[in-house]
Amino acid sequence: EVQLLESGGGLVQPGGSLRLSCAASGFSFSSYTMSWVRQAPGKGLEWVSGISVGGGSSTYYADSVKGRFTISRDNSKNTLYLQMNSLRADDTAVYYCAKRYCSGSNCGGFDIWGQGTMVTVSS
């Protein structure tokens, strides 16, 4: 079964750090672009960051997290990471990892999502 399982969320003080993990199973993890998407309580979806296939030589960030968050992947462990530094109250959200859809030459959108992990930034 194709599955993504996030972990690492929790309560952190403003200015603090947290590292999220996303364990993938059931598909060839290294062959897919992966992303993090978040959703603040009662709000819509916001794409946060993405990383390219293979070694992840290309990374992409939303302006709201650029310079504070770092995405990475360990293909030997089938795991995606999000290192979050200098956290702010407006980073409070459920964080989802998501697999990019790709079938032949049709690639785009996210076909597999994890269950999400909650990050709360508060003193």
Partner 1 sequence: DIQMTQSPSTLSASVGDRVTITCRASQTISSWLAWYQQKPGKAPKFLIYKASSLESGVPSRFSGSGSGTEFTLTISSLQPDDFATYYCQQYNSYPLTFGQGTRLETK
Please give the residue ranges that form the binding site for partner 1 (CB under 8 A).
35, 44-47, 50, 60-63, 96, 101, 106, 108-116
- Report the residue number, 74 or 111, with the smaller CB distance to partner 1: 111
Rg (CA), the chain: 14
Nearer to partner 1, 1 or 76 (CB): 1
Residue 107 Cβ vs partner 1, minimum distance, rounded to whole Å: 8
Closest separation in Å from C-beta 46 to partner 1: 7
State the minimum distance, in angstroms, from the CB of residue 9 to partner 1: 14
Q: Toward partner 1, which CB reaches closer, 72 or 112?
A: 112
Residue 115 Cβ, how far from partner 1 at the closest point, in Å? 6
Of the pair 7, 13, the CB lying nearest partner 1 is at: 7
Please give the DSSP secondary-structure letter assigned to residue 104: T
What's the 3-state SS for 39-85?
ECCCCCEEEEEEECCCCCCCEEECCCCCCCEEEEEECCCCEEEEEEC
38: β partners: 46, 95
66 Cβ contact partners less than 8 Å away, ≥ 6 residues apart? none
